[in-house]
Amino acid sequence: MGFMTLVWVFVGGGIGSLLRFAFSKWLPFTAAHFPWATLLSNLLAAFVLALAVQFWKDTPKWLQIQPFIVVGICGGLSTFSTFTYENFQLLQQGQLTLFWINLLLSFGLGLALFYFFARSTGSY
């Protein structure tokens, strides 16, 4: 792992984190409402990753692009820890319907997005 790889992970992580921060300001979460920003962040990260795999996985560029996109952008953008915390808050507030909707949409739509794009390349 070279220095430039670390730089690209750092830059990609900054981009992903800034996008996640912008979504959280645009769609703030409270325990009585659905956590739209986290869902949007996670689905966008799944979508970006699926596109990256679709377009670059079988090219020589993949090894160069992967740290920037997968670890950097998608890692900074996806929010599993926030997802877990918000689900915990929904459970504490007795918001069982929102909890299950969030859980099913996040996993279901994320998997569907990835399947749809991976299927088109035959890499599933």
Question: Can you give the pLDDT at residue 123?
Answer: 55
pLDDT at 33: 87
User: pLDDT tens digits, residue range 24-38?
Assistant: 999 998 878 899 999
pTM for this model (two decimals):
0.77
For position 67, what pLDDT does the model report? Answer: 92
Give the total number of structural domains in the chain.
1
Give the residue numbers spanning the domain of 106.
3-27+36-121
CB 5 within 8 A of CB 69: no
Distance of CA 55 to the CA centre of its chain: 18
* Cα–Cα–Cα angle for 105, 111, 116, rounded to 5 degrees: 120
pLDDT tens sequence across 63-113: 888 899 989 999 999 988 778 888 898 999 999 999 999 999 999 998 898
